[in-house]
Amino acid sequence: MGVSGFIKGFKLLHRTKPRIRLHPYGYIQRRYFLDTKILNSSDSLLPVLIVGAGPVGLVLSVLLTKFGIKCTVLEKNKGFSKHPQAHFINNRTMEVFRKLDGLAEEIQRSQPPVDLWGKFIYCTSLTGSILGSVDHMHPQDFEKIVSPVSVAHFSQYKLTRLLVKLLENLGFGIHTLEGPDSLDHEPLRGGEILMGYECVSIDTTDECVTATVSFSKEGKLLMRKIQSKILIGADGAGSMVRKLVGIDLKGEKDLQKLVSVHFWSKDLGRYLLNERPGMLFFIFNTEVIGVIVAHDLTQGEFVLQIPFYPPQQNLEDFSPEICKKLILKLVGQELSDIDVIDIKPWVMHAEVAERFACGNNQIMLCGDAAHRFPPAGGFGMNTGIQDAHNLAWKIASLLNGVAPTSILATYETERKPIAVFNTALSVQNFRAAMAVPATLGLDPTVANSVHQVINKGFGSILPSSMQKAILDGIFSIGRSQLSEFILNENNPLGSSRLAKLRHIFEEGKSLQLQFPAEDLGFRYLEGALVPDSDDVVPAPELPTGRRRDYVPCADPGSRLPHMKAKVLSNFPSEETISTLDLVSENKVEFLLIIAPMEESYNLAQAAFKVAEEYKVSTKVCILWPADSVTRVQPESKAKLAPWKNYIDVIEVKRSLDSSSWWSTCQMTEQGAILVRPDEHIAWRSKSRVVGDLYSKMKIVFSTVLGFESMNS
């Protein structure tokens, strides 16, 4: 299915009057909760209620809090998950984390050294023959040329722990139902994370959203109503918020079913550290096929992903003892310290929500609630966190009275195309991963077809035990293709397959980890921005599935390019920073970047006047060329008086022949760039702005903030 095939039209499901509550095994039961008690509280109207305390919900709560917006977070589970889950943090997400009170630095200090996780290794067992390996880390990835920070390998539950600690430092409290800090009767003021609360119904009026939440205490099911101006569904792939408001998902369902086994083995960690360090190990042998994810070799923490074929297989076939035996078959030698922590089935989907918002944009979907990707390429959590980054400043602008409600409509306008593209890219990367077993004679599509025949064809009339025996027998025959007799250079068939496999790895046609062009180079084509007057909207770009390098770009909607700069004013010492650091991390503030030229100073004066009228904070950055450092501070001070919110910086080139800032942006130094609070470019002029500068900047700010759409 192509990019355009993921989303076709919009359809809102009919909402029923009875409350809806999700029960185990995906069964949705409708009832009127006659056996429950609804508690009344004196809650004031919360600005924002976030449903879901995963990384996306927690990051959004951090950003909103830093922007001065109070919020409360609900989590249906009584504790935070300790299953590793996502683990690859891409460049753009790490840039977001740089602005969250040192979070990026803490991750970099805590993660394993990069030489322990940069490779994907394909082998017959962890101690057996290596079929091939791919190193996904290039030297330039860590030279900080295109970004001030590098990618990271850090388990999701560890990230959650750091985010909770960060929120506690911001004044949040973690409230459980069993402890003395329970808030089941107390009014909510914002700054709370409520554990064990599930959203079971949502009602909206023009003034607010009312969420009814359920929780169990002392054996009783209780209800509570919470009112907020905005409700965010960040409650994961099975989002209850999405179901309650009747938003459908579109795309490919059930790409693959797997069982995820979280286990520890320091002995295995030590062996791999010394012999073959890597992140992912794809293991193919005659007894079992699986992927082992090394979350931390130094600590010996792993996750096994193994194909799962229900109903012929069930979770009883993956007991801790059976999983230990499977792990040993994948390792290829005895281990005495395997400790299986958690076993959970999951289904891989590739779907995007038909809409990201409803109820006059009072209810928004964020993260996996809005899009479900295959894990190939690590786009799931990263895309979700970037959703939150896009949404936070818009919510703050609305609630602070800076922008109208139409600003929230730009969230879906901007983020949904990115989700559609990343879904297609993830599917393409997943297909690339399947090319390896297919080359070895194990085409996964054949396995899935056989399973379908047993489920829905003639096999469905057979007893379940016979179905299971047939399935196991067919898979065993398939795995025989991996025997040493066949898979060796002296066997013509095996030699041909191994040669094809080497070609796949050398050509970059296997599963990829990094996509710099998509990671840093994604661009919003419409939304809270002003396109270039001569901008021709490009046709939707199709993902290639291959790694492509990022090329800096200053087109409206793009992320501001990174370049090192030295601060020349407003600081007691000259400090070297990234251009991304010029954007405030603690308030909703726009940034206008200009060169030290008379016309540009005049433009900045006009921007200050318009920003004051719109009550939106704006800072001006005067970016001086690398060979000019004289008379900087007094000249800017005089040119911009009486305005004081400005900063003088000088570009720092990597080498004498490096491009200047304006050349990197493919602009003249007479141009200007207006940057949004999320570090994306709202507007730019490639050359000198002519005409009435005040009127020009008024059009720019009104368009970006959404006032222009109200008048059109």
Domain boundaries, the chain: 37-113+148-250+351-430, 252-349+438-507, 523-705
- Give the position of tokens 């496999």: 501
- pLDDT digit string (tens) for 329-353? 999 999 999 999 999 999 999 999 9
Provide the pLDDT for residue 629. Answer: 65
Provide the pLDDT for residue 634. Answer: 64
Lookup: tokens for 402: 């800076």
Q: State the average pLDDT over residues 578-594.
A: 97
41 Cβ contact partners less than 8 Å away, ≥ 6 residues apart: 185, 186, 187, 188, 224, 225
Lookup: tokens for 626: 């690398």
Structure confidence at residue 11 as a pLDDT band (50, 70, 90): very low
Fold type of domain 252-349+438-507: D-Amino Acid Oxidase; Chain A, domain 2 (3.30.9)
User: How many angstroms separate the Cα of 354 from the Cα of each of 379, 382, 410?
Assistant: 19, 20, 15
Lookup: tokens for 365: 């979907």
Provide the pLDDT for residue 177. Answer: 79
Q: State the average pLDDT over residues 156-173.
A: 97
Question: For residues 689 and 683, what is the distance between their CA atoms, to the nearest angstrom?
Answer: 12
- pLDDT digit string (tens) for 251-307? 999 889 999 999 999 999 999 999 999 999 999 999 999 999 999 999 999 999 999
The least confident of 281-285, 383-387, 549-553 is 549-553
Question: For residues 315 and 544, what is the distance between their CA atoms, to the nearest angstrom?
Answer: 37
Structure confidence at residue 22 as a pLDDT band (50, 70, 90): very low
Percent pLDDT > 70 in the chain is 89
Structure confidence at residue 199 as a pLDDT band (50, 70, 90): very high
What is the DSSP secondary-structure string of 553-602?
--STTBBPPP-EEEE-SSSSS--EEEGGGGS-SSS-EEEEEE-S-HHHHH
Q: State the average pLDDT over residues 31-57.
A: 70
Provide the pLDDT for residue 160. Answer: 97
Structure confidence at residue 182 as a pLDDT band (50, 70, 90): low
Lookup: tokens for 108: 């970099």
Given a cut of 70, whether residue 1 has pLDDT beyond it is no
Given a cut of 70, whether residue 360 has pLDDT beyond it is yes
- Give the position of tokens 């209800």: 223
Beta bridge pairs of residue 132? 122
Question: For residues 421 and 663, what is the distance between their CA atoms, to the nearest angstrom?
Answer: 29
Alpha helices in 370-506 (DSSP H): 379-399, 406-439, 444-456, 464-479, 492-506
Check for a shared fold between 37-113+148-250+351-430 and 523-705: no
Given a cut of 90, whether residue 162 has pLDDT beyond it is yes
Confidence (pTM)? 0.91
Structure confidence at residue 547 as a pLDDT band (50, 70, 90): confident
Percent pLDDT > 90 in the chain is 74
Does residue 128 sit in helix, strand or coil?
coil
Query: Is 257 within 8 Å of 244 (Cβ atoms)?
Result: no
Does residue 255 sit in helix, strand or coil?
strand
Provide the pLDDT for residue 223. Answer: 92
Q: State the average pLDDT over residues 561-579.
A: 81
27 Cβ contact partners less than 8 Å away, ≥ 6 residues apart: none
Structure confidence at residue 181 as a pLDDT band (50, 70, 90): low
Q: State the average pLDDT over residues 425-429.
A: 92
Using DSSP bridges, classify how beta strands 198-204 and 209-217 pair: parallel, antiparallel or unpaired: antiparallel
Question: Does 458 or 640 have the greater pLDDT score?
Answer: 640
Provide the pLDDT for residue 336. Answer: 92
What is the DSSP secondary-structure string of 398-435?
HHTTSS-THHHHHHHHHHHHHHHHHHHHHHHHHHHHHH
Question: For residues 422 and 615, what is the distance between their CA atoms, to the nearest angstrom?
Answer: 36
- Give the position of tokens 């909510």: 188
Provide the pLDDT for residue 9. Answer: 32
Structure confidence at residue 475 as a pLDDT band (50, 70, 90): confident
Q: State the average pLDDT over residues 370-396.
A: 95
Question: For residues 650 and 629, what is the distance between their CA atoms, to the nearest angstrom?
Answer: 7
- pLDDT digit string (tens) for 665-686? 999 999 999 999 999 999 999 9
Given a cut of 60, whether residue 528 has pLDDT beyond it is yes
CATH class as words, domain 523-705: alpha beta
CB neighbour class for 588 (10 Å; exposed up to 12, middle 13-18, buried from 19): buried
Provide the pLDDT for residue 28. Answer: 28
Structure confidence at residue 31 as a pLDDT band (50, 70, 90): very low
Structure confidence at residue 16 as a pLDDT band (50, 70, 90): very low
Given a cut of 70, whether residue 35 has pLDDT beyond it is no
The least confident of 106-115, 318-327, 625-634 is 625-634
What is the length of the chain? 712
Provide the pLDDT for residue 710. Answer: 54
Cβ count near 380 (within 10 Å): 25
Mean pLDDT of the chain: 88
Q: Between 3.40.50.1370, 3.50.50.60, 3.20.20.20, 3.40.50.300, what CATH number should domain 37-113+148-250+351-430 receive? A: 3.50.50.60
- pLDDT digit string (tens) for 105-146? 999 999 999 999 999 999 999 999 999 999 999 888 888 899
Q: Kindly state the greatest CA–CA separation across the chain.
A: 88
For 272, the enclosing helix (H) or strand (E) is helix 266-275
Radius of gyration of the chain (CA): 27
Given a cut of 90, whether residue 700 has pLDDT beyond it is yes
Question: For residues 355 and 606, what is the distance between their CA atoms, to the nearest angstrom?
Answer: 38
